[in-house]
Amino acid sequence: MERKTNRDGRRACSIVFVQTMITNYRTQFFLRLVQELGELGHKLLIPTGTTYFFPELKNGYAGIPFVKRVKNVMLLNDRLMFQLLPFRRVVGADLIFFEFNPRILSTWFIVFIRRLLGRRSVGWGHYYSRKGEGATQNLIRRLLFCLIEEFVTYSEREQKVISHRWPEKKVMVAHNSTNSRSEFAPASSIIDQQDIVYSGRLIPEKKVDLLLKSFAIACETNAELGRLHIVGSGPEHHFLEGLAQKLGITDRVVFHGSVFEMDVLRNLYASCFCSVSPGYVGLMVFQSHAHGRPIIVSPGEPNAPEFHMCEEGANSVFFKSDSSVSLATAIIDVFDNRMQWDLVSRDIQTVCLDKYSIEAMVSPFVALAVGSKEEVDL
């Protein structure tokens, strides 16, 4: 039987994106990806589960075409997982993209079989463990990496490390993003704003309790400070509410819960002069810079690749990890220098969106789908 070709005369192929779970912040990415690959005539399948290693993460796959819901079987007290995938379709696809996480046991089986069959499997994720470059877990990650020839990472830094160690591998960069350029309004003025915002999960690693203690200190030092907005959900929610009450700042702290509506987030960031990440930081960097707001962050945390967007003094202010005094000082410093930060807020936004929009994130995947990274301007 003659294989179908797309509008450019290339052979249309079957592509599978194996996802453990599509979270809310990934919805826009997959909608854009499906649109672009669909226009090229490729046949798509996106098998995804509804549970993850972090139970506070929420599903966001509703409305995404070509999604097939599968069961994720959690093992050893949620430390490992096995996905009940449509194996014939996944193994038989021309190309698959899979989450690069060795804790997902089904991934090893799928990728090994596909390697024996000579089919393309592209890993997507962090090359290193969250525990850092020297973690013993990286030995297992490298074993999985040996089974593939192509990889999509989140930063140029990891790309350079991988290309040096594995020069024969094709490594591309897809900077993490959550929204399209068109969804962001031009950065509004910072000068008259008095509030700050934290956006992320409410878990111990994020150290939101440190932010509350630091905010209380900052308010004692400068009474002109406004409110602290906490956006997100997680197991520490009630503990943090109690801590705010104990610190006597309940009337100045607003718990919004999870917020994904872009108009709500846009108005929230417009009312703040900066954002704060008291623990390790990830996509919050993009969210803050995309709204033209500097972020206060610590370089001493096990930060995600998005941290490399942060340039001290240009779009970010650094503080000493676990120091409430250092963080309080940073908050007051940004507040007192709002006029200077206002002058660069548009530049912060422009630089961010040029490199970290959904459009830019989708490009490497489309390039790999058509078989040549030169097809797309990266």
> How does residue 6 score in pLDDT terms, banded at 50, 70 and 90?
low
Looking at residues 151-155, what average pLDDT do you find? Answer: 93
Distance CA 81, CA 103 (A): 6
Task: List, in sequence order, the alpha helices (H) in 259-370.
Answer: 262-270, 284-290, 324-336, 338-356, 358-369
C-alpha dist (Å) from residue 222 to 218, 331, 336:
6, 10, 10
CB atoms within 10 A of CB 54: 12
Under the banding of pLDDT at 50, 70 and 90, the label for residue 86 is: very high
Enter the tokens of residue 27. Answer: 């919805």
* Contact yes or no for 339/332 (Cβ under 8 A): no
The mean-pLDDT minimum among 25-34, 112-121, 191-200, 330-339 falls in 25-34
CB–CB of 45/68 below 8 Å? yes
Supply the pLDDT for residue 235. Answer: 94
Q: Which two tokens stand for residue 132?
A: 């850092």
75 has a pLDDT exceeding 60: yes
Mean pLDDT along residues 223-250: 96
CB burial readout 221-230, b (16+ within 10 A) else e: eeeebebbbb
Q: Residue 58's pLDDT band (boundaries 50, 70, 90)?
A: low
Where in the chain do CATH 3.40.50.2000 domains reside?
14-179+357-375, 181-356
Tokens representing residue 200 in the block: 């992320």
Residue 51: is its pLDDT beyond 90? no
Highest mean pLDDT among 54-58, 73-77, 193-197, 263-267: 193-197
The topology under which CATH files domain 181-356 is: Rossmann fold (3.40.50)
Domain 14-179+357-375 has CATH 3.30.460.80: no
Residue with tokens 């003094």: 313
pLDDT at res. 318:
98
The DSSP code for 134 is T
Average pLDDT over residues 159-165: 93
Output the pLDDT for position 10: 56
Structure tokens at 189: 């003025």
- pLDDT above 50: residue 377: no
